[in-house]
Amino acid sequence: MKQARTKGFRTALPFLLPSLAGFILFSILPIIGTLFISVTNWDGLSELTLVSDFPNFMEKFFVGFENYQRLFQSEVLYQALFNTLKFIVMYIPLMLVVSLCVAAILNNKVKGVGFFRIVYYIPVITSWVAGSLIWKWVLNPQYGILNSILSKFGIQGPQWLQSAKWAMPAIVLASVWKDMGYFGLMFLSGLQGINREYYEAASIDGANGIQKFFKITLPLLTPTIFFVLIISLINSFQIFPQVMIMTPNGGPGGSTMVMVELIYKYGFEYYEMGIASALSWILFVIIMLLTFVQMKFQKKWVNYDD
Amino acid sequence: MMTDVIKKKRLIFKILFYVFAVLVAVIVCVPFFWMFVTSIKSKGALMLLPIEWIPKDPTFDAYRKLFTIPNFGTSIINSFYISIIGTVLRLLFAAMAAFALTKIQFKGRGVIFGLYITALMIPAQTTFIPLFIVMGKLNLINNLNAFLFLQLFNAFAIFMMRQKMMTINDAYIEAATIDGASMWKVFFKIILPLCSGTLATLAILSFMELWNDYLLPLVLLTDRANYTLPLILNSMQGQYSNQYNLMMAGSLVSIIPILIVYIFAQKYFKEGLTVGGVKG
């Protein structure tokens, strides 16, 4: 494509200035700042002279890798990672199945399908604060609607958010409810990208519905499945509002304490900015690795239609 | 004979479709139904057993009381303030950046875009501690305008605007500049109108994000008078614990503006869904 006449940097600068300023102040500075603070024991209360007086600041607060060492030797980090793992193991399979069902339902040309699409997406547009409060009340062991429904089937519902065993499954339920429309619509666009002719050809060859699903739909949907998988993995490491609101203070027995909540606690409750920053970097590295996996292997997984 | 079989098959298929579709819709809606029902219950009716699916004495007391809660009204105004002004600023700055990155040639353009795209991968969840510090240095802690300053740079919006602007033919710009129009005039009079669809989609996503955000307001706003609606809702848990009629009424009020935008801007929402995927 032919570009507009060369105008040079001076023409571009006024247009770029706001985004450059924001990029430096709110993206670059924070991410590099975290790295430096993570090797100090700065408390967040005494003045931060990281930029204006770097040598003095480092001399005063530098502790080397002590924060990382402390974290890797203590239980809190492993507990948060273990809780995240618990979340992932339950959330991802359930979310995949439910959102594939959502997509399968919406992928029909039947009257009223547009209405259902609108309805399924409402939890996605709802804030997590409202969503968490609603679910907290739905899950109330005594007066909540879920245990009331369960009791109609003769099931004695658990204590949900008050129980160390059931708090995380409860958070998973709420999260699947909140996200199924989002990932469902992602799968829907994946399904709609599959060429109809494949199905017609398979029908002529006498393939049944199950064969068509496993031989056509699933292979051609793998890129979407992979994309959703990675995105939801990345999101799983970052869950915050639902755990913070539904189960404050890490939940019963710390069973729902996750990474972001840990960072928040160390930063704004214990004022251990060094530890909080070290945790931020650990989380950052995990997310970068997942993003890298996505970019690296996407090509391998992709089944190009045509 | 044959057509009968096909007709029968179609009918069974249709029935199955509606059974499943309605089932999922019920699962989605029951929590919202429970929210609404609870919000029109009196305080005493909350703790009745067996629970009332339809309240015997519906009342709007919870809604009346809601607006007497300190700072509840202000928090709605605060939320509208950062969501609307923030959205306008985000779109403006992103469009400006995208304009420079697609329509003005200069050295280092590719590098800048590459850096911007890298920023897409840095989630707010990993940088809110230093962000708090930076905002402190800028004297923007406990200041709603912090959320306006944050709009200076939004990697996702820039990415989207760039995608759109790459499809715009440069001949428009050349014709205008030959006629003596400045780059600003080209930007505002020619480029922006041509991007209206993308701008609308981005505006909806942005409004939704700012209206619903929890983490950054929690970190950056310390004084109740400056709280946004999600923060006030969250704080009600401590003050009015177990007064779920109040909390459900508050939740419902917080959902309404988003719901209105959602229903009236379906077209742009549909587009936003597929592009929003990049963001996760």
Contact of A121 with chain B, judged by CB distance below 8 Å, is answered with yes
pLDDT of residue A51: 64
Question: Which residues share a beta bridge with A62?
Answer: A40
User: 45-64 in B: which are within 8 Å (CB) of A?
Assistant: 46-47, 49-51, 53
Nearest to B89 by CA among B183, B207, B221, B264: B207
Mutate to test the interface with B, among A129, A173, A233, A275 (most CBs of B within 10 A): A129
Query: What number is the average pLDDT over the span B62-83?
Result: 92
pLDDT of residue B52: 77
Q: How far is B99 from chain A (nearest CA, A)?
A: 7
Nearest to A44 by CA among A54, A34, A53: A34
**B28 contacts A177 by C-beta, under 8 angstroms:** yes
Q: Between the CA of residue B43 and those of A247, B39, B53, B244, what are the distances in Å?
A: 23, 10, 15, 8
pTM: 0.89
Q: Is it the case that residue B204 has pLDDT exceeding 70?
A: yes
Mutate to test the interface with A, among B22, B125, B165, B186 (most CBs of A within 10 A): B125
pLDDT of residue B271: 67
Q: Between the CA of residue A61 and those of A268, A273, A280, B257, what are the distances in Å?
A: 19, 11, 18, 47
Would you call B244 and A37 a contact, using CB atoms and an 8 Å cutoff?
no
Contact of B196 with chain A, judged by CB distance below 8 Å, is answered with no
User: 162-191 in B: which are within 8 Å (CB) of A?
Assistant: 166, 170, 173-174, 177, 183, 187
Which chain B residues are within 8 Å of A227, Cβ to Cβ? 277
Query: What amino acid is encoded at B96 in this protein?
Result: M
CATH superfamily for A73-301 is MetI-like (1.10.3720.10)
Which chain B residues are within 8 Å of A143, Cβ to Cβ? 46-47, 49, 51
Listed in sequence order, the DSSP H helices in chain B are 2-39, 61-66, 72-103, 109-119, 124-137, 145-149, 155-165, 170-178, 183-185, 192-194, 196-212, 215-220, 229-239, 244-264, 266-276
Query: What number is the average pLDDT over the span A35-45?
Result: 81
pLDDT of residue A306: 38
SS3 A40: strand
The residue extents of the domains of chain A are: 73-301
**A4 contacts B103 by C-beta, under 8 angstroms:** yes
Range with the lowest mean pLDDT among A63-72, A242-251, B1-10, B24-33?
B1-10
What was the ipTM of the complex prediction? Answer: 0.89
| B244: nearest CA partner in chain A | A137
Range with the lowest mean pLDDT among A23-37, A48-62, A65-79, B136-150?
A48-62
Contact of B14 with chain A, judged by CB distance below 8 Å, is answered with yes
pLDDT digits (tens, 9 = 90+) for A163-203: 889 999 999 999 999 999 999 998 998 888 888 888 888 88
Query: What amino acid is encoded at A221 in this protein?
Result: L
Would you call A16 and B208 a contact, using CB atoms and an 8 Å cutoff?
no
Nearest to A139 by CA among A159, A165, A169: A159
Would you call B215 and A240 a contact, using CB atoms and an 8 Å cutoff?
yes
User: 169-198 in A: which are within 8 Å (CB) of B?
Assistant: 177, 180-182, 185-186, 189
Confidence of residue A46 (pLDDT cuts 50, 70, 90): low
**B79 contacts B211 by C-beta, under 8 angstroms:** yes
Confidence of residue B253 (pLDDT cuts 50, 70, 90): very high
pLDDT digits (tens, 9 = 90+) for A251-296: 888 889 999 999 999 988 888 888 999 999 999 999 889 888 877 7
Q: Which of A122, A182, A238 faces B28 most closely, judged by CB atoms?
A: A122
Query: What number is the average pLDDT over the span B46-69?
Result: 84
User: 28-57 in A: which are within 8 Å (CB) of B?
Assistant: 29-31, 33-34, 37, 44, 48
Would you call A122 and B187 a contact, using CB atoms and an 8 Å cutoff?
no
pLDDT of residue A214: 82
Q: How far is B141 from chain A (nearest CA, A)?
A: 13
Residue environment code for B108-146, b if the CB has 16+ CB neighbours within 10 A, otherwise e: ebeebbebbeebbbbbbbbbbbbbbbbbeeeebbebbeb
What is the rounded CA–CA span in Å between residue A210 and residue A101? 15
| A33: nearest CA partner in chain B | B130
Q: Which of B129, B183, B274 faces A267 most closely, judged by CB atoms?
A: B129
Q: Bigger pLDDT: A58 or B131?
A: B131
Q: Is it the case that residue B91 has pLDDT exceeding 70?
A: yes
Contact of A92 with chain B, judged by CB distance below 8 Å, is answered with no
Which chain A residues are within 8 Å of B233, Cβ to Cβ? 129-130, 133
Confidence of residue A50 (pLDDT cuts 50, 70, 90): low
Question: Which residues share a beta bridge with A40?
Answer: A62
| A176: nearest CA partner in chain B | B28
Query: What amino acid is encoded at B19 in this protein?
Result: V
Give the up-direction half-sphere exposure of residue B58: CA atoms within 13 A in the CB hemisphere.
9
**A185 contacts B276 by C-beta, under 8 angstroms:** no
Would you call A130 and B112 a contact, using CB atoms and an 8 Å cutoff?
no
Q: What is the mean pLDDT of chain A?
A: 86
Query: What number is the average pLDDT over the span A48-72?
Result: 77
Q: Which of B28, B97, B154 faces A120 most closely, judged by CB atoms?
A: B28
Query: What number is the average pLDDT over the span B190-198?
Result: 90
Contact of B204 with chain A, judged by CB distance below 8 Å, is answered with no
Would you call B104 and A12 a contact, using CB atoms and an 8 Å cutoff?
yes
What is the rounded CA–CA span in Å between residue A165 and residue A6? 64
Contact of A16 with chain B, judged by CB distance below 8 Å, is answered with yes
Which chain A residues are within 8 Å of B191, Cβ to Cβ? none
What is the rounded CA–CA span in Å between residue A194 and residue A190? 7
Q: Output the six-digit token pair for B242.
A: 């177990």
Kind plus residue range of the DSSP H or E element containing A199: helix A196-204
Q: What sign does the dihedral B133-B138-B142-B144 (CA atoms) show?
A: negative
Q: Is the omega angle on the peptide bond into residue B50 within 30 degrees of 0, that is, cis?
A: yes
Q: Which of A21, A177, A291 faces B152 most closely, judged by CB atoms?
A: A21
Q: Output the six-digit token pair for B209.
A: 């994000």
What is the rounded CA–CA span in Å between residue B230 and residue A213? 43
Q: Is it the case that residue B83 has pLDDT exceeding 60?
A: yes
